[in-house]
Amino acid sequence: MLRLHDTMTRRSQPVEPLEEGHVRLYTCGPTVYARAHIGNFRAYLFEDVLRRVLEQRFPRVTHVMNLTDVEDKIIRNAVAHGSSLDEETQPWIQAFYEDLDALGIRRAHHYPRATEYVDRMVELIERLGERGATYRGDGGIYFSIAAFPTYGRLSGLRAEGLVAGASGRVDADEYGKENVRDFALWKNVGPDEIGWETRLGRGRPGWHIECSAMSMALLGESFDIHCGGVDNIFPHHENEIAQSEAATGVPFVRLWCHNEHLRVEGEKMAKSLGNFHTLRDLVDQGARPSAVRYLLGATVHYRKQLNYTAGALHMSNEAVERFATFRDRLEALPPRKGAGGPAVLLAERAVREFDAALDDDLNLPEGMGVVFAALRDANAMLDAGGVDAAGRAALLALVERVDDILGVLPLVDRERDAALTPEVRRLLEERAEARAERDWTRSDGIRDRLAALGIGVEDTPRGQRWRRL
């Protein structure tokens, strides 16, 4: 059974959906004021691995990821550029989708935009008002932490003894760690400012109310799993819990899962340090998306900090190539009769151990250790000619099951297609002709020319195979 570490209880908990066979998953998406960086994509890849595992284990998964398209930074940028919110955010939303596709991240079933759910937010704020959990101040409508006695369960912060307004309050969408304050649900704005005319008055929603309204609209007032980075635990997720449960009177989420930070060369990523990277930056520098995906998603457990380095990217590239080369070798294997044997047993054991690692809080790094040990033994069998048709099928099934979670082989195939320039295609065809004519000198010369172009060639019983060097 799949078990995940629950931030709320600080324990491993079984995934037991509220609705039998149907897991409802909410993951915090980007604030679309700039291109997402690789630290963001560590979270999105952890969530993609979770989504893929859930889809292997359960008949139905509904995945919602929000797009925050109204927030302090976005409004500042829109005002500075003289643009509407949609004009300001649409290019970054498109860039986000492009990066998701580049990394092979499965699209969520729903991408609600905050600006499309303002009416739902107003309704939720009104429900909170009816329950005595809000008050009006000069800046708008605030949530009273004192009205929710269990505030702080997720983050461990203590808010005992607070009374409405006595803790102070914050108007900013984001604020400092351990800065326990009543927070804005609705912010008053002037007639010339970006906002909405509503029953609450002219204004705009605070950041925290957005996710509560959107998640409950699409997944229900209680759902199964809520994910995000550890930086979301406080204040964002703590405030989501408070406002959601204060409004509904029922538990908001069953399991809270959070991934740790990404560091770059041992330091926090920051533009001032010159180590701030987007996926596009890395690809422009020559990184393969398949290797970036492997590094961010499969090298370190999601609840441990990950250090992004050039060396780690190189090793991830080698791991991806090793996995893809094994797949290629199996596909090129000539037919050989047989009904099973050691290769079948090896593949079946690897599948069981791989699945067991994933069931233990998504331990994909441990699972890949199992896989590469199996690949080593399988390659030894292949070298000795000891894999029959049944063994080949079992090993290919292992590769398929693993990559259904790992998600690198479609990226490798895409990268290979991109590497097939007209010149490379012509040289591969010429080399195939040279080998057919048994012109080994010419064949070797073309191999060297291909290597200079970054293309390695290997001859198999089914013809030549190529890969990027």
pLDDT, one tens digit per residue, over 164-188 is: 444 567 766 665 545 578 999 999 9
- On the question of pLDDT at 432 being above 60, the answer is yes
Give the pLDDT confidence score for residue 420 in this predicted structure: 80
Q: How far apart are CA 253 and CA 326, in angstroms?
A: 41
Give the pLDDT confidence score for residue 338 in this predicted structure: 66
Between 244 and 167, residue with greater pLDDT: 244
Pairing of strands 182-188, 169-170: parallel
Query: 184 has which bridge partners?
Result: 142
| Of 1-15, 193-207, 375-389, 437-451, the least confident | 437-451
Query: 458 has which bridge partners?
Result: 465
- On the question of pLDDT at 258 being above 90, the answer is yes
What's the pTM? 0.90
Residue pair 214/127 in contact by the 8 Å Cβ criterion: no
Give the pLDDT confidence score for residue 354 in this predicted structure: 98
- Considering only CA atoms, which of 119, 236, 216 is closest in space to residue 172? 236
Would you place residue 162 in the very low, low, confident or very high pLDDT band (cuts 50, 70, 90)?
very low
Pick left, alpha or beta for residue 418 (phi over 0 → left; psi -120 to 50 → alpha; otherwise beta).
alpha
**End-to-end alpha-carbon separation of the chain, Å?**
40
What letter represents residue 361's amino acid? D
Would you place residue 159 in the very low, low, confident or very high pLDDT band (cuts 50, 70, 90)?
low
The per-residue pLDDT for range 26-54, each reduced to its tens digit, is: 999 999 999 999 999 999 999 999 999 99
Residues 443-458 have a mean pLDDT of 86
Would you place residue 150 in the very low, low, confident or very high pLDDT band (cuts 50, 70, 90)?
very high
Give the pLDDT confidence score for residue 165 in this predicted structure: 42
Q: What are phi and psi of 265, to 5 degrees?
A: 50, 40
Give the pLDDT confidence score for residue 391 in this predicted structure: 94
Q: What is the mean pLDDT of the chain?
A: 92
Would you place residue 276 in the very low, low, confident or very high pLDDT band (cuts 50, 70, 90)?
confident
Q: How far apart are CA 359 and CA 372, in angstroms?
A: 19
Give the pLDDT confidence score for residue 337 in this predicted structure: 73
